[in-house]
Amino acid sequence: MTIPFHLSNRLLTGFVLCFLGAATSLGAPASNPEKDVLKKQLEALFEVSKKVNMPESEKDKARKEIDNSIDWDGIAQLCLGPKNSKKYQGKNFNEFRNLLREVISKTAFSRMDKFWAGGTTAQIDQIEFQAGKAHVSAKFLSNNETFSLDYFMSKKGQRWLIHDIAYEDLKYSTNIQEQLDAFLKEKSFGDLLVKLKKKSEELDKSKQK
C-alpha cells in the first residue's frame, strides 16, 4: 500500500505556518492578556515565515524558530492514534516523530514562497481557550479565493505550540491516522519508518535539482 504523506498544499503549508497569518486584527470585542500574548507570538512568526527560503543564515534561523513553535510529540501521537502511540512508545516512536517532522517540514518549506507570492492575507476570526488549550479559527484570501484553517494549540511553559490543524474542517491528524492505521494492518512499523525515511531523502534530492 502506498501512503501519500502529503495532503493539499494549503494544509501542509498551513501546518508549518503556525498561524502566521495572525498579523491582522484579532477582531476581539475586548482585550485579553492571554490573547495578546498569543497574538504577539504569531505576528513574530508571520514575519519569520517569509525568510524560510532566504540565504543560508537567515533561512536556518527562521526555520528553527518555526520548528520550535510546533509540538512534534503531540503531532506524532495524534497521527499514530492512542493505540499505536502506546504500542510504539520509546525508540521507535522517537524515530517516527523525527521522520514525520522531516517530511512535513521539508514539504511545507518548499512551498512557502508560493503560498505568500500571491499576496495571501489572513484574518483571525476567533480565539478560544480551555484548560491550557487554544483553538484559533482563521480565514485566508489567496488569488481571490477564500479558505479557512483552524489551529489547535497547547501551552508549554510560556509559549503556545501547535499540535493539529484543520483545513475546511478536515483535521490533518485524522487524515494521517486513517492512512497509518490502514498501512499498519498490512505492514510493520519498521516498514513505515523505512517509507518515511525514503520520502525524506526524495525531498532532499528534489531540492537539489
Express each pLDDT in 62-79 by its tens digit.
Answer: 889 889 989 999 999 999
Domain total in the chain: 1
Cβ-in-10-Å burial (0-12, 13-18, 19+) of 138 comes to buried
What's phi and psi for 6, nearest 5 deg? -105, 145
For residue 22, what pLDDT is reported? 34
Q: Is the pLDDT of residue 125 over 60?
A: yes
Is 190 domain-assigned? Answer: yes
pLDDT of residue 17: 54
The answer to whether residue 209 sits within a structural domain is no
Domain limits for position 25? 9-203
The confidence score (pLDDT) of residue 20 equals 40
Which cell numbers in the block locate residue 87? 504500542
The model's pTM is 0.79
Q: Which residue has the higher pLDDT, 19 or 118?
A: 118
Plot region of 2 (φ>0 → left; ψ -120 to 50 → alpha; else → beta): beta
Q: Give domain status of residue 102, yes or no.
A: yes
62 falls within a domain: yes
pLDDT on residue 195: 95
Residue 3 within any structural domain of the chain? no
Q: What is the CATH number of the domain that holds 174?
A: 3.10.450.710
Asked if the structure places residue 45 within a domain, the reply is: yes
Count of Cβ atoms closer than 10 Å to residue 13 Cβ: 22
Instruction: Please answer whether residues 162 and 152 qualify as being in contact, where contact means their C-beta atoms are separated by less than 8 angstroms.
Output: yes
End-to-end distance of the chain based on CA atoms, in angstroms? 28
Amino acid letter, 77: Q
Cβ(122)–Cβ(42) below 8 Å: no
Which position has the higher pLDDT, 195 or 169? 195
- Whether residue 115 lies inside any domain: the answer is yes
Average confidence (pLDDT) over 173-181: 92
55 within some domain: yes
In the chain, % of residues over pLDDT 70: 84
